[in-house]
Amino acid sequence: MSVYPFTHLPSHTTLLSVPQTSHEKFIKECYKLARRSVKRGKHPFSAILLVNNEVFATADNTFTTNLDCTAHAEMNLIRKVQHQISSEDLAQCILYSSTEPCAMCAGAIYWAGIRNVVFGCSAAALKKLAGQPLDIPCRDIFRTAHDKVSVVGPVLEEEGLKIHQAFWKRPIHIESKIKNAAVLVANEN
């Protein structure tokens, strides 16, 4: 049972019927959150959950701050809302992500019941830029699912890539990896 009052979308409403300008508006908001995350020492990823065309929740990637490899923005968003909104109601929501959900996040999105996803940067573009070793488009994962998941993206990819270019080429990014490794070693002792 949801603790949030829903106005259900008519069954004929699909993600593709939402105007592109709406997608751009919320992807720009994801990019704004991603830039804020970088300023706070986090990776440049963010996610927004839209309920009844309003932002219900936001999340960013806390991998570096929590030292948790599963703390991607989409995973953090799902953790935040999963006890507030039923999977039936989540199917009516739209998840916006600054970057295409990875394989782990795509699985979590599906199992949470979210059936509408819009992303900014593609996994392929991020791989070219940052050398991500696991590049499986979320559409490939959702295509194998029993229930249909609608996907729109990339949206405003060039704008998002600028955020990633600035982040992944920073010397501080390399320093934060060393610092995080030192923290892990210190915690083991």
**What residues act catalytically?**
74
> Which runs of consecutive H residues, i.e. helices, occur in 67-114?
73-81, 87-90, 103-112
**Residue at 15: amino acid letter:** L
Torsion angle (degrees, nearest 10) of CA 136, 134, 123, 140: 10
Apex 132 CA angle, 142 and 73, nearest 5: 60
CA distance 13 to 141: 23
* Separation CA 140–CA 106 (nearest Å): 10
